[in-house]
Structure 1
Amino acid sequence: MTIKPIKTEKDYNDALDRLESIFDSKKGSAQGDELEILSILIEKYEDEHFPIGFPDPIEAIKFRMEQMGYTQSDLAKVVGLKSRASEILNRKRKLTLEMIRLLHDKLKIPTEVLVQAYN
């Protein structure tokens, strides 16, 4: 198969089909090189046509808390008060700049995620 740019949905689907057929190719072989190039082209097409946005800030906080084994009390230690933590998690209080800084520092949540608007 001749490798060409992926410009249309048909090109994209053809590339995915080809990728699947050569998926187990050995690295360094001709098909292995083709697999690597196709992967890059497919990724570029997907980034342009199927962008994935950042997660909702509150969902990101909940997810990170779950990963770290944090309770609402642990979150309260980060943001100041247990009632404040509850209000944040229940979307009754917006994040302040100071809270965003603290959440970024303590929970390592990217600021780009935390500064987004949410309901």
Structure 2
Amino acid sequence: MPTRLDSGKYGHLLAETLPAIVTSDAEYDRLVAVMNKLAVMPEDRITLEQERLLEMITLLVEKYDDEQYPIPVAPPHEVIQFLKQDRGLRNRDLEPLLGSRGVTSEVIRGKRKPSHTQIKKLAEFFKISPEVFISLD
């Protein structure tokens, strides 16, 4: 694959696709269709110009998603309660991560914020970003 962008080919792709900031569901659907078409192309067949177009469209689509469908931030104890229930865990299953029975109970009920060490252990255990366990208040 060439390592240098062909401005003529790229310009043609841009003119053909007309990517722009997404302001409507119709524009979103159109760009998602283009994105999906490019995303399934075999690696040995996609051009550098197509890869760059895919990157741009992906950013435009993600920006619209983030603006239209924001993910609400939940307090750490609610995240822990959800994950605990979702995975069929009990409080005592989290004691090795959080500490004693009393501390575990306080963290799960929201009476105590998880410490940095506890956050790290929870993130590793549940295989998710530590950010979800950080309280914003």
State TM-score, norm by structure 2: 0.54
- In structure 1, runs of 5+ residues without a counterpart are 23-32
How does 1:1-119 map onto structure 2 within 5 Å?
Answer: 5-6=20-21, 8=23, 12-15=24-27, 19=29, 35-37=33-35, 40=58, 41-117=60-136
Measured at CA, do residues 107 and 35 of structure 1 come closer, stay the same or move farther in structure 2, by a change above 3 Å?
A: closer
Letter in 1 for 2:108: L
SS in structure 2 of the partner of residue 98 of structure 1: helix
Secondary structure class of the residue paired with 1:100: helix
Instruction: Kindly report the root-mean-square deviation, in angstroms, between the aligned alpha carbons of the 2 structures.
Output: 3.3
Q: Percent same amino acid at aligned positions?
A: 30
Compared with structure 1, are the counterparts of its residues 65 and 42 closer, same or farther at alpha carbon in structure 2 (3 Å cutoff)? same
Is the Cα contact below 8 Å between 2:76 and 2:110 reproduced in 1? no
Mark the runs of 5 or more structure 2 residues left unpaired by the alignment.
1-16, 37-56
- State the Cα distance separating 1:74 from its structure 2 match: 0.9
Aligned residues: 101
* TM-score, reference length from structure 1: 0.60
